[in-house]
Chains A and B, each alone.
Chain A
Amino acid sequence: MPVFEVRDLHLHYQMRYGEKIHAVAGVSFALEEGEVFGIAGESGCGKSTLVNGCMGLFIPPLRPTSGDVLVNGESIMNLPPETVRRTVLGRKVAMIPQGAFNSLNPTRKIKDLAADMIKCHEEKASTTRTEIYGRLRERFTLIGMDAERVLNSFPIQLTAGMRQRCVIGISTLLNPALVIADEPTSALDVSTQKSVIKMLFDLLDEGIFSTMIFITHELPLLRHVSSRISVMYAGEFVEVGATEQVVFDPRQPYTKALMGSMLFAEPGQKERKPIAIEGAPPKLDKPIAGCRFAPRCTEARKDCAALKQEIREVAGRQVKFTHSRARNSRAISATAKSWSEPSIVWISLSGRRRLCL
Chain B
Amino acid sequence: MDFFVRQKEIVSIVGESGCGKSVLAKMMLALVHPTSGTLLYNGRAIGNELDHWREVQAVFQDPFASFNQFFTIRSQLKSSFHLFKTKPPKKEIEDRVDNALLAVNIVPREIEGKYPFELSGGQMQRMLLARIFILRPKVLIADEPTSMVDACCRATILDYLLKLKEELEMTIVFITHDIGLAYYVSDRMFIMHEGRVVEQGEPDDVALNPKDPRTVKLLDDIPNIHKEWIRR
Do A263 and B184 have beta carbons less than 8 Å apart? yes
What's the minimum C-beta distance from B193 to chain A, rounded to whole angstroms? 11
Decide yes or no whether B152 CB sits under 8 A from chain A: yes
Are B17 and A269 in contact, CB atoms less than 8 angstroms apart?
Answer: no
> Which residues of chain A in 258-294 are interfacial with respect to chain B, using CB atoms and an 8 Å cutoff?
258, 261-267, 269-270, 273-278, 280
* Interchain CB contact under 8 A, A269 and B151: no
Among B78-86, B130-138, B219-227, the stretch that binds chain A is: B219-227
A270 interface neighbour in B150, B156, B183, B221, Cβ under 8 Å:
B183
Any B CB within 8 A of the CB of A300: no
- The answer to whether B159 has its CB under 8 Å from any CB of chain A is yes
User: Is A188 a contact partner of B17 (Cβ separation < 8 A)?
Assistant: yes
Query: Would you call A201 an interface residue if the criterion is a C-beta within 8 Å of the partner chain's C-beta atoms?
Result: yes
Q: Do residues B151 and A198 form an inter-chain contact, with CB atoms below 8 A?
A: no
User: Of A42, A194, A220, A273, which one neighbours B150 at CB under 8 angstroms?
Assistant: A42
| Residue A193 is within 8 A (CB to CB) of chain B in the complex | yes
- A160 to B232, Cβ gap below 8 A? no
Are B159 and A265 in contact, CB atoms less than 8 angstroms apart?
no
Interface presence of B100 (CB below 8 A): no
The interface on chain A, measured as residues whose beta carbon lies within 8 A of the other chain's beta carbons, has a size of 44
CA distance A270 to B203 in the complex (A): 10
Q: Name B132-166 residues within 8 Å CB distance of A.
A: 149-156, 158-159
Chain A nearest CB from B60 CB (Å) reads 15
Verify A159–B18 contact, CB threshold 8 A. Answer: yes
Q: Select from chain B the residue with minimum beta-carbon distance to A188.
A: B17
Shortest A100–chain B CB gap in Å is 13
Task: Give chain A interface residues in 178-195, CB to chain B under 8 Å.
Answer: 188-194
| A223 located at the interface, meaning its Cβ lies under 8 Å from any Cβ of chain B in the complex | yes
Chain B residues within an 8 Å CB radius of A159: 17-18
> B155 is contacted by which of A198, A264, A275 (Cβ under 8 Å)?
A275
Chain B residues with Cβ below 8 Å from A193 are: 221
Residue of B with least CB distance to A217: B150
* 8 Å CB contact of B184 from A218, A223, A269: A269
Inter-chain contact A262/B159, CB cutoff 8 Å: no
How distant is the Cα of A220 from the Cα of B179 in the complex, in angstroms? 14
Residues 107-137 of B contacting A (Cβ, < 8 Å): 120-122
Contacts of B217 in A (CB 8 A): 191
* A270→B152 CA distance, assembly (Å): 17
CB atoms of B150 and A43 under 8 A apart? yes
Q: Which of A194, A257, A261, A274 has the most CB of B within 10 A?
A: A274
Known: A191-B221, A265-B208. A274 touches B150 (CB 8 A): no
By beta carbon, the residue of chain B nearest A263 is B180
| Selected contact of B230 from candidates A194, A220, A248, A262, CB within 8 Å | A194
Residue in B181, B204, B226, B232 whose CB lies within 8 Å of A263: B181
Question: With A190-B16, A223-B225 given, is the CB distance from A197 to B230 under 8 Å?
Answer: yes
A274 close to B155 (CB less than 8 A): yes
Q: Which of A161, A190, A205 contacts B221 (CB 8 A)?
A: A190
Inter-chain CA distance A217–B146, complex, in Å, is 13
Does any Cβ of B come within 8 Å of A61's Cβ?
no
Additional A-B contact list (9), CB under 8 Å, known A189-B16, A201-B232:
A192-B17, A205-B232, A218-B223, A224-B229, A257-B152, A263-B181, A265-B183, A270-B183, A275-B152
- Could you tell me which B residues sit within 8 Å of A by CB distance? 15-18, 105, 120-122, 149-156, 158-159, 177-184, 203-204, 207-208, 217-219, 221-226, 228-230, 232
Residue pairs across A and B with Cβ atoms less than 8 A apart, 25 shown, are A42-B152, A43-B120, A43-B149, A43-B150, A159-B18, A190-B16, A190-B218, A190-B222, A192-B16, A201-B230, A201-B232, A205-B232, A218-B223, A221-B223, A223-B223, A224-B229, A261-B151, A263-B180, A265-B183, A266-B208, A266-B226, A267-B208, A269-B183, A274-B155, A277-B155
Closest 10 CB pairs of A and B: A263-B180, A276-B155, A274-B155, A277-B152, A265-B183, A265-B207, A42-B150, A189-B17, A190-B221, A276-B156
